[in-house]
Amino acid sequence: MTASDKAFTGSIPQIYDQLMVPLIFEPYAQDLAQRIRARQPRDVLETAAGTGVVTRALHAQLPPQVRVTATDLNEPMLMQAKTHVADESRMTWRQADALALPFADASFDAVACQFGVMFFPDRVKGYAEARRVLRRGGRFVFNVWDRIEDNEFPHVVHETLQEIFPENPPRFFTRTPHGYYDTGRIKADLTEAGFTDIVIETVTHCSRAASPHEPAMAFCQGTPMRSEIEARGTPGLTAVTQAVAGALERRFGSGPIEGRIQALVISAG
C-alpha cells in the first residue's frame, strides 16, 4: 500500500458516497449490521467508517438504546458520513486511527469494520486494538474483498487501465482493495493479534448500475485510483473514465448492467 491509497480527498468522498456505496458497498453493509444486531450489543464501535454506509445500517437495524461510535482516520470521509445521521443523539463521531484507538479497554460489545482493514499499514496491530477494546465475549466483525477476478466490474476497470498505461499501469485495486483475500493469512494475522475463535465466510452479491458510465465514474474518480490516473497525465482523467465506460459497455451492455461481487466476511472473538 502507498500513501496515495489512503487519499480520500477533494471530490472523492462525494463521488464515493453517491456512486460507489450503492454500487458495491450497500449489500455488505446490511450484512454486517445484521450480524452485529444478532449479538444484541449495548455499545458498538465502527472503525474505518468511510462515508457511513455501515453506520446508517447499524442506525436502522439496532434498537434505539444501543450506542454507536463511528470513527475514521480520514476527516473528509467522516464529514460526509455525518451528513446522513449527524443529529442522532445516540451516535458519536470521532476521527480516530484504528491502530491507536482512543478508547479504554473493554469498552464495546462489538467492533465493525467494512472493507477497511486492507488499508491498515499494520493489520495485526489494528486487530489487536479491536480485541483490546472488546468486552469479554465480544466480536470483531469485518469484511474484505475477494480476489479481483471474482469481482467483475473492478476487474474490467483494472484490465482496461493496464491497457491504457502498459508501461506504468495503476495497481491500486490489486495492491489494496483486492490485495488481502488469502484466508490463511487473515487467520494468521488475527491469531497473532490474540483472537482464537475465527470464522470466515464467502459472500457473493450482484452489483447493479443504471449505465456503464456509473461504475466508470465510481472506480476512476471516486477512489484513490483517481490520483494514480491523474499522476500519469495523458490521456487524462476524463478520457480514461470514458475509455473504461466503453470497456464496461462492451462487456455488459449499454443499458442497466450488473456483475458479480464477492467478499469474505470474518467474525473473530
**Ramachandran region of residue 52, left (φ > 0), alpha (ψ -120 to 50) or beta?**
left
Residue whose C-alpha cell is 443529529: 87
| Stronger pLDDT, 5 or 17, i.e. the higher one | 17
Query: Is it the case that residue 202 has pLDDT exceeding 50?
Result: yes
- Cα 116 to Cα 124: distance, rounded to the nearest angstrom: 13
Q: What domains can be seen in the chain, in order of their start residue?
A: 3-268 (3.40.50.150)
pLDDT band at 144 (very low <50, low <70, confident <90, very high): very high
The H or E element spanning position 201 is strand 198-209
Burial 217-251 (b: 16+ CB within 10 A, else e): bbbbbbbbbbbbbeebeeeeeeebbebbbebbbeb
- pLDDT for 34 equals 98
Q: For the whole model, what pTM was predicted?
A: 0.93
Segment 201-208 mean pLDDT: 98
- pLDDT for 86 equals 62
Query: Is it the case that residue 91 has pLDDT exceeding 50?
Result: yes
- pLDDT for 159 equals 98
Query: Is it the case that residue 121 has pLDDT exceeding 80?
Result: yes
pLDDT band at 87 (very low <50, low <70, confident <90, very high): low
Q: How far is CA 222 from CA 60, 66, 226, 258, in A?
A: 25, 32, 7, 19
Segment 141-157 mean pLDDT: 98
